Amino acid sequence: SSAFVLGPNCCSSVLQTFDKILIANRGEIACRVMKTCKKMGIKTVAVHSDVDSSAVHVKMADEAVCVGPAPTNKSYLNMDAILEAARQTGAQAVHPGYGFLSENKEFARRLAAHGVTFIGPDTHAIQAMGDKIESKLIAKKAKVNTIPGFDGVVKDAEEAVRIAGEIGYPVMIKASAGGGGKGMRIAWNDEETREGFRFSSQEAASSFGDDRLLIEKFIDNPRHIEIQVLADKHGNALWLNERECSIQRRNQKVVEEAPSTFLDPETRCAMGEQAVSLAKAVQYSSAGTVEFLVDSKKNFYFLEMNTRLQVEHPITECITGLDLVQQMIRVAKGYPLQHRQADIPINGWAIESRVYAEDPYKSFGLPSIGRLSQYQEPVNIPAVRVDSGIQEGSDISIYYDPMISKLVTYGSTRAEALQRMEEALDNYVIRGVTHNIPLLREIITHPRFVSGDISTKFLQEVYPEGFKGHQLSDSERWELLATAVALFVAAQLRSQRFLGNLRVSSSQQEQRRWELSVELEKGVHAVTVSRSGSTYAVDLDGKRVDVSSEWNLASALLPVTVNGTQRTVQCLSRSASGEIDLQYLGTSYKLRVLSKLAAALNKHMPEKVPEDTSSILRSPMPGSVVAVSVKAGDTVAEGQEICVIEAMKMQNSMTAAKTAKVKSVHCNAGDTVGEGDLLVELE
């Protein structure tokens, strides 16, 4: 597939489109759009906030304009500044990427008024599809299957409860202007409906400046499958097959694939045709996505239409060979589509993992921030595409989406694509921020995922107690322990090798056998190690494990062969006192290797007592305090809301871990807090 790596030759037809395009976005999508622009010989203009002035998308562009300070509403959502940037640089068209102003009809309208082409659909299509209530009515008219629900704006929480009662629980409360999971809550009873209404309207107001909400029947346990459409200004429209995006947490996609394992050709065709008919009904032009919920009986219901380039568009590019950004630019210039429906293939299989700066051990991912002290993409593996907008040294800040990259692998079969994904995740070096690679690797190797048995509830069902990292089998445990021990010995030996130092004892011979102890998760194992060349034979609980490697102790990646199996392990840290953190099978493990003597004496070392966490509430992530619901002296019940933290535009309710009196409150509404900051102390 020519679009897979976005090589220079994929734009075979040399067509005059635009001389210069401004990309009104940041991060990976801005870079992605610029790549195609460069291929098409189009000059690019980046816009950026002040904190982004040395970001990758800025360096990549031919010109860059600062459009304001860090907060998005002052920069990337600042229409005046962006319009001015377009005028100043003479950009003939604007590509909005996704998010920000991509589905803002006002922006499209004002661009048109300035004679700048908006690379996307016409204003009326954005408006019609951007409003969930209106879009549903249009969809119904276009004979698209829709979900039963209330086709109007809900006035207040009590009305929400009444409507929910009529439709029947569970219901979904969502922002009329929403998207991307923001301002969306599911309620199973009246109380949750009231709470959901409150949160959703706050989130909708802060994310979209529009707090209108609607309610519809919540289809339990569905799959999320969407159809990519592409339409021109001449009434032609195509469907470019589906993407399955069922693996989600908090209604945000985590792993996507194309095609779906679930669809048969008939269903695919039916969905594709309905999607095209909806596109035609709103005179859609450009690339767009029609999202459906599909139940276990392959009934599908229209969810919404996204009138923009979708985050997960690369997997469609992989299997169809089309460059969607190029197609959008062509269409925006007014060219008719180059392809017919029969020309659209499904070649092979593509998987996308969204790599986030998040802690997957907290609610499948709470944002984390920091500086990428080391960063290395696994692009040396064939058929791997990484769309990113960051590099080593970049900051992941609280201002923007915490996505690090989209990691896409491709294969002639699903199994091949999955195999490559596993390898790519193991070879992906990310240091300085907490990331979700442990979760991604577990998902793509889980038997249910591998067999295609998934739904939007996959994560909750597979990890009902929350994600706990990879669970080691016995043989994996031995492998991990042996690897740590071998690494320890290799490092010990190296620390005895001084170059050109004549004062090292001449009678000293390199040790060949070691008696050590290795600890993992409170289990202590006595081991003996012997060395021949670069292979260490580790004798562990009566089992022999051979570990060999080049033992390059400076490299972030440690390729090892353990009893004949090749793996890439990452050494995250190594301390003088024997602590070794290894990332193995995606998950990081804390091990400790000590000499036999040190291990025997270690039991005498005093255990330092960690603080009691049930009476202390700390911020689980960096963000800002939206509201504090208690004051010192109040009595709170277990589970009662104490305060609300907003991070990356998501509001998170912090609750009491026990029933107790509030001892002291350490934060105020409006404060910015870091991860681990003390918020409230209970007695």
Partner 1 sequence: MAALKVVRSGSRLLNGFQSLLNNPRKVTCGVAATVTKHPRWYCVSHLSVQERIERKRKAALSGGGQQRIEAQHRRGKLTARERVELLLDPDSFVEYDMFVEHRCSDFGMEADHNKYPGDSVVTGQGRINGRLVYVFSQVKDFTVFGGSLSGAHAQKICKIMDQAMMVGAPVIGLNDSGGARIQEGVESLAGYADIFLRNVMASGVIPQISLIMGPCAGGAVYSPALTDFTFMVKDTSYLFITGPDVVKSVTNEDVTQEELGGAKTHTAVSGVAHKAFENDIDALLNLREFFNFLPLSNKDSAPITECHDPSDRLVPGLDTVVPLETTKAYDMLDIIHGIADEREFFEIMPNYAKNIVVGFARMNGRTVGIVGNQPKVASGCLDINSSVKGARFVRFCDAFNIPIITFVDVPGFLPGTAQEYGGIIRHGAKLLFAFAEATVPKITVITRKAYGGAYDVMSSKHLRGDVNYAWPSAEVAVMGAKGAVQIIFRGKENQAEAEAEYVEKFANPFPAAVRGFVDDIIQPSMTRKRICRDLEVLASKKQANPWKKHANIPL
Comparing CB distances to partner 1, the nearer of 112 and 601 is 601
Task: Please identify, using beta-carbon distances, which residue of 392 and 539 lies nearer to partner 1.
Answer: 392
Nearest approach in angstroms of CB 233 to partner 1 is 42
Q: How far is the CB of 395 from partner 1 (least distance, A)?
A: 8
> What is the secondary structure of 142-181 as a DSSP string?
TT--B--B--S-B-SHHHHHHHHHHH-SSEEEEEEEEETT
The C-alpha torsion from 442 through 443 and 445 to 451, rounded to 10°, is: 150
Say which DSSP state 341 is in.
Answer: G
CB of 68 to partner 1, least distance (A): 15
Residue 64: other Cβ atoms inside 10 A: 21
Nearer to partner 1, 35 or 574 (CB): 574
Q: What are phi and psi of 341, to 5 degrees?
A: -55, -40
| Phi, psi values for residue 553, rounded to 5° | -80, -5
Q: 39 phi and psi, to 5 degrees? A: -60, -35
Cβ 357 to partner 1, closest distance in Å? 16
| Least separation in angstroms between CB 59 and partner 1 | 10
Q: Give the dihedral of Cα atoms 187, 189, 192, 198; nearest 10 deg.
A: 80
Q: CB of residue 235 vs partner 1: minimum separation in angstroms?
A: 48
Q: Shortest approach of partner 1 to residue 373 CB, angstroms?
A: 7
Q: What are the phi and psi torsion angles at 235 (to 5°)? A: 85, 5
Contact 24, 45 (CB under 8 A): no
Q: What minimum distance in Å lies between the beta carbon of 500 and partner 1?
A: 6
461 is catalytic: no
Nearest residue to 653 via CA among 220, 333, 195: 195
451 vs 577, which CB is nearer to partner 1? 577
- Cα–Cα distance between 514 and 530 in angstroms, integer? 6
Q: 28, 203, 226, 304: which is the annotated catalytic residue?
A: 304
Nearer to partner 1, 172 or 372 (CB): 372
Angstrom distance (rounded) from CA 557 to CA 375? 11
Closer by beta carbon to partner 1, 496 or else 664: 496
Backbone phi, then psi, for 323, in 5-degree steps? -100, 105
DSSP for 534-560, please give it. Answer: TEEEEEETTEEEEEEE---TT-SEEEE
Q: Which is nearer to partner 1, 380 or 577 (CB)?
A: 577
Produce one character per residue of 490-526: b if its CB has 16 or more CB atoms within 10 Å, e if not.
Answer: bbeeeeeeeeeeeeeeeeeeeeeebebbbbbeeeebe
The contacts found for 132-136 with CB under 8 angstroms, 24 or more apart, are 132/174, 132/175, 132/176, 132/177, 132/178, 132/214, 132/304, 133/176, 133/214, 135/304, 135/305, 136/302
Alpha carbons 173 and 372: distance in angstroms, whole number: 37
Give least dist CB 393 to partner 1, A: 3
d(C-alpha 623, C-alpha 70), whole Å: 14
Q: Closer to partner 1 at the Cβ: 473 or 496?
A: 496
One-letter amino acid of 2: S
State in angstroms the smallest separation of the CB of 576 from partner 1: 4
Nearer to partner 1, 46 or 643 (CB): 46
In the chain, the amino acid numbered 556 is A
CB-count exposure of residue 579 (10 Å: 0-12, 13-18, 19+): middle
Coil, helix or strand at residue 605: coil
What are the residues whose beta carbons fall under 8 Å from the beta carbon of 559, sequence distance 6 or more? 549, 550, 566, 567, 568, 569
Name the residue nearer to partner 1 (CB basis): 14 or 554.
554
The torsion angle over the Cα atoms of residues 36, 42, 47 and 52, rounded to 10 degrees, is 50
Residues at the site binding partner 1, with contacts judged by CB under 8 A: 50, 53-54, 371-375, 391-394, 494-501, 503-505, 508, 552-555, 576-578, 594-595, 597-598, 601-602, 604-606, 608
Q: Which residue numbers are catalytic?
A: 304
